[in-house]
Amino acid sequence: MTEKELRALLEDMSLREKIGQLTQLDASVFNDEGPVTGPASELGLNDDDAYLCGSVLGLTGAAETEALQKMCMAKQPHGIPLLLMADIINGYKTIFPIPLAQGCSFEPEAARKVAEIMAKESAAAGLHVTFAPMVDLVRDARWGRVMESTGEDPYLNSLMAAAMVEGIQGQENSYEDRLAACTKHFAAYGAPIAGKEYNNVELSERSLREDHLPSYKAAIDAGTAMMMTSFNTLDRVPATASKWLMRKILREEMGFNGVLISDWNAIGELIGHGVAQDPKSAAELAITAGVDMDMMSFSYACGLEKLVEEGTVSEQLIDESVWRLLQLKNQMGLFENPFRSASTQQESELILSAEHRLAAREVAAKTFVLLKNEDQLLPLEQDDSVAYIGPYIEEKSILGAWSFFGKTEDCVSIREAVEARGVQAEYAHGCGVLNPGQAIYGFRYDTESNLTEAETEKMIADAVALAANKTKVVIALGESNLQTGEGGSRGDITIPDIQKKLLEAIYAVNKNIVAVIFAGRPLDIRDIKDKTKSILYAWMPGTEGGSAIVDMLYGDTAPQGKLSMSLPYSVGQVPVFYSELRTGRHTEDGAEPTNRFLTKYCDIPNDPLYPFGFGLSYTDFSISPVRLSSDQLTLDTTVKAVATVKNIGNREGVETIQLYIRDEFASVARPLRELKGIKQVKLEPGQEAEVEFEIDTNMLRFYDINMEYKAQHGDFTVWIGNNSKTDNSVCFTLN
């Protein structure tokens, strides 16, 4: 449709029809015959209102989406097609590792591959938009939704955000056999006070701009079609009602001109925040702030028409939002083909295809982080006498909390992968994932342990007997996938007590223990660290998780993942992250233990158990001292920072080299160090390579005392290493 035709369509629409376009309904509002009774009708929406909606979320399947599209278009006065949306976070049916795990790959191309495949499968199933990527910066492991982010660092998150948008939307945002991306949640949703879901956020403007906003900007620069508002307040104003955040920052400063949608009932929740009295006043606040679409609060449908009739809201304001939505539908070709790539044949060919399963297996291997490997217990030998013990040996609920459309029966467990390998092994369940009788109330379903204390004691005894007769033990532990995700905030971020008891019992009879940890967040794993020789952090690895883990245990692949979020020593440290600000009394662990008047804990270390960027391999690497092309930098020049990386082990490996920089003196307090570059090298034993980073003044800019974004003259320290605690540094001066 030409722009002229699209304008004519907008001009011919009634006000009620326009408001309908700005309303998103859940698929549960409809059945095969049409709209059904429920919350919508309780708020005054009739069948005609439902048919006017511009978007539906939560429905998938080529046949199902085509039927709904036909039904709604037939009732829509101008035959305007629906936008069909859903939460496709880390895969549609072929499920990949959770985004936090993808961050551990430190490889944007891996994230792009995931996004591409999940978009293709979803498009074949009739979807147009995914509510992804989530690019919120996360530093508090208590928060359940850390699993949806790629981690604690602005630079890494920005790289991943751009790659995900590009993978979802396709070459030059063509949407050909892809989806439109809806980046979320704007803004700073990942910093809730105390790590509690839906809690408010307290940030300085500098912290917001320097740490939290860059990843959203990266997604916008990559062309994200949509953005989603966040539930939280910022500066005590709910984001969904913040003109400063949505109009000034998002649209004016960042240049976003796409569709802005609320999160689920976020407009309605303005009443709960105490800034709106009723749905009508909530609608006024949101539309004035620039929110184009109302997701499932019905505030626009029930309130906007009255606001226009009263003269409180201009119809021009509504036209602006409708125009953005019509443009997106037009860009996606829906007016010419409302069903786009939906195809039952494509579904059968693409979904869970051998190619997609292989990709899921390969990506998973890049996300696993080897935290410990004493006595080179890993990799296992084919003829090792191994006992496989623990609740996650046979568990197939390894998809992650947001994998709504994936099926556990499609997953490969560790046991299945070991048996497929044909090695000699014996198995013992040991205990359940949860404590006996424990129940978890999930986002879309619940789970509970049906095991009794007596049954569990017998299972532990059987596991101990097996472990005592084996050379090595692989124990698979972790939190339930329902203990993470939305509404999954936890104050105790350890594994369930029954799993600790199992590990302790195994440790009493066999010290050669390899732990494989399944999690949706950084856990407190001190107990596991103390009682194992090797630890492989596998996160929630997805459909091919078991296959990828066994590949790594036996050395077919080698670990290369690096932590995208620090693993805390204990929950008392969180939020804990590497780039904290300098203080007047800063201290490093181990320094001046008798001096209490420092920035430190008196009873636990300051440092996390494992820092951001950390991860071992099956080989070892040396990194030479940093060399600079010059120790002087000007506004018009660059400095090259170089280090030589050598594989000094006995097998091939991939190392991720990280560049960090610190501003030694500035007009405001600056972080201890900041990640500014990533390079991966793959080296054979004895092989070496030079890794070079180019430093320019753009990498040194920050918001100064006057809130001007600029670099300041002075001294800087640059580190090159393989984690955020490297001490391999050299200095230069910006003149």
Question: Annotated catalytic sites, by residue?
Answer: 263
Report the 10 Å Cβ neighbour count for 70.
13
Q: Which residues pair with 425 in a beta bridge?
A: 386
- Rg, Å, the chain Cα set: 26
> Is cis: bond before 187, omega within 30 of 0?
yes
Q: What does DSSP say about strands 446-448 and 472-478: parallel, antiparallel, or unpaired?
A: unpaired
Report the 10 Å Cβ neighbour count for 305.
20
Ramachandran sector of residue 419 (left: φ over 0; alpha: ψ -120 to 50; beta: rest): alpha
The owner of tokens 């069909």 is 84
Q: Is-contact 25 40, C-beta < 8 A?
A: yes
Q: Is-contact 268 303, C-beta < 8 A?
A: no
Q: What does DSSP say about strands 688-695 and 55-57: parallel, antiparallel, or unpaired?
A: unpaired
For the chain, give the number of residues.
735
The sign of the CA dihedral 613, 619, 620, 626 is negative
| Residue 271 CA to its chain's centroid (Å) | 29
User: What tokens appear for 654 in the block?
Assistant: 């991939």
Query: Which 3 state secondary structure label does DSSP give 650?
Result: coil
Q: How far is 177 from 87, CA to CA, in rounded Å?
A: 17
| Residue 685 CA to its chain's centroid (Å) | 34
Mapping DSSP onto H, E and C, the string for 319-344 reads HHHHHHHHHHHHHCCCCCCCCCCCCH
Q: How far is 540 from 488, CA to CA, in rounded Å?
A: 15
Mapping DSSP onto H, E and C, the string for 607-625 reads CCCECCCCCECCCCEEECC
Which ranges in 222-274 belong to alpha helices (H)? Answer: 243, 269-273
Q: Which residues pair with 57 in a beta bridge?
A: 26, 85
Ramachandran sector of residue 39 (left: φ over 0; alpha: ψ -120 to 50; beta: rest): alpha
Terminal-to-terminal C-alpha distance of the chain: 55
The sign of the CA dihedral 37, 43, 46, 47 is negative
Q: What does DSSP say about strands 369-373 and 534-537: parallel, antiparallel, or unpaired?
A: antiparallel
Give the angle 182-184-189 at the CA atoms, nearest 5°.
Answer: 170
Q: Which residues contact 697 (CB under 8 A, 6 or more apart)?
A: 633, 635, 711, 734
